[in-house]
A and B are shown apart, each in its own frame.
Chain A
């Protein structure tokens, strides 16, 4: 449809414009070298074969810590904050241990976990059901590093991915988010009413050589981030030393966010 309209416009208005625009063509102005426009991204982005996250639940008893991580994420990605929980959008949030690991049907929980808030986010599954169901390829697993990506330009807002996600990691924009964004970060686009969104492991920051915002904000190294395929990485070291669990591993999704007990 868009193409037809474009062709049509080109044939009519633009054709005339193209001929006539020559004389008023924009002239060169000052002699500013072109490189300065649009700060170039770092030439040395962070890369990995398989990004993964390891959350140390021991360090999540400090609720402020987790809250700060989520706030940092929501700030850099312009995630709105709604008064009505029905409209809620969350990329990272905290949940009681019992709810986060609901499939464990926990009877007796050590007291320390009763007070633990578990930070939840997209698990960037190795076998992501949301990707399988998406009818437009708006969400896909990046082959190079395993990140489950989002293309907000394609999403039709059918919410099939939300039905398929066993972790509740995806949110839908029930209404225009802009009025509910406290302070906007101009570098990252907002979303608009009608599309689905979720955490992207700060794919845009990795490209600039920065670690994810939540990892950066976490105190006491509560969250580690690294390459799961690299045996010497921090995440592998932690997983070697401590016992870890993942959410709903029985579903075969292979979540790549690990929680250390």
Chain B
């Protein structure tokens, strides 16, 4: 590769650009800021422990989705024996009906934009 030099310089610039948001956040101290999340309006515990929910709720939702739609199972039994209907809008948003100050706040902060609500209808009370 006779222009390997150029390629490497290009790659370095590319990587620098790609990781820019991280550097920027570190430099400005933005990453340590955390949005103030509102409490769930119902219940004293989430469908799994909070740590797990915080990090893995998207995987849990995917699992629920596949169970309901593909396996025809609709009831989730939490480790403590509580039963939940595996539904995004009817369960998650029932307790977290303050969606805007809970889900959205965190997502906006991390610029995640779940496209679920293109189809799933946000319950009236939640809006």
Contacts and interface: CB of A to CB of B under 8 A. Distances in A.
Contacts of A10: 55
Interface string B98-112: 000000000001101
A254 B54 CA distance: 48
Give chain A's interface secondary structure class: loop
Contacts of B34: 16-17, 20-21, 24
Given A9-B112, A28-B44, A35 B124 contact: no
Contact of B82 (A30, A31, A35, A191): A35
B5 to A, nearest CB: 28
Contact of B123 (A16, A30, A149, A186): A186
B26 to A, nearest CB: 9
Interface in A6-59: 6, 9-10, 12-14, 16-18, 20-21, 24-32, 34-41
Nearest to B84: A38
A17 B39 CA distance: 17
Nearest to A20: B34
Give chain B's interface secondary structure class: mixed
A123 to B, nearest CB: 20
Interface residues of A, number: 44
Given A26-B50, A149-B69, A38 B39 contact: no
Nearest to A38: B91
A120 to B, nearest CB: 25
Nearest to B18: A8
Interface in B27-51: 31-32, 34, 36-45, 50-51
A192 interface: yes
B22 A29 contact: no
Contact of B69 (A30, A40, A151, A186): A151
B41 A29 contact: yes
Interface of A: 6, 9-10, 12-14, 16-18, 20-21, 24-32, 34-41, 78, 142, 144, 149, 151-153, 184, 186-187, 189-192, 203, 207
Interface of B: 21-22, 25, 31-32, 34, 36-45, 50-51, 54-55, 58, 65, 69-70, 72, 74-75, 78, 82-85, 87, 89-91, 94-95, 109-110, 112, 115, 118-121, 123-124
8 contacts: A12-B21, A12-B22, A17-B34, A26-B37, A30-B42, A41-B85, A144-B72, A190-B118
